[in-house]
């Protein structure tokens, strides 16, 4: 009975292991028109699985000093208190 349960568990684990595997870029060839269009495109090529911002351009990160200044400004103008009393009040 234990052997049967182990065998079923092994088959189940083997069958579902591929669901969690990382997908690799496809190696199929693209049509000539798609290749020509990709070469003429000035946009950066994105790898599979990467998030692309809505405007299509990468945004630059902020420094710690910039984030801190935004926090201080939000505290001074009351924005932080408003958010704490409305959205984060739960």
* pTM score of the predicted model: 0.35
Please check whether residue 47 is in contact with residue 22, taking contact to mean a CB–CB distance below 8 angstroms.
no
Per-residue pLDDT of the chain (90 residues; tens, 9 = 90+): 788 888 888 877 777 766 555 555 555 555 555 555 555 554 555 567 777 777 777 778 899 999 999 999 999 999 999 988 998 877
Q: What is the largest CA-CA distance in the chain?
A: 69
Please check whether residue 74 is in contact with residue 80, taking contact to mean a CB–CB distance below 8 angstroms.
yes
CA distances from 40 to 23, 33, 85, 88 (A): 27, 11, 51, 48
Q: Which pLDDT score, from 0 to 100, does residue 68 have?
A: 97
């Amino acid at each position: 009975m234990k052997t049967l349960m182990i065998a079923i568990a092994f088959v189940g684990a083997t069958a579902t292991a591929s669901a969690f595997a990382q997908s690799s870029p496809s190696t199929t060839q693209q049509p000539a028109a798609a290749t020509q269009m990709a070469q003429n495109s000035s946009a950066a090529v994105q790898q599979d699985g990467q998030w692309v911002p809505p405007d299509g351009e990468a945004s630059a990160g902020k420094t710690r000093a910039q984030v801190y200044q935004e926090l201080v400004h939000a505290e001074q103008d009351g924005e932080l208190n408003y958010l704490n009393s409305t959205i984060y009040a739960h």
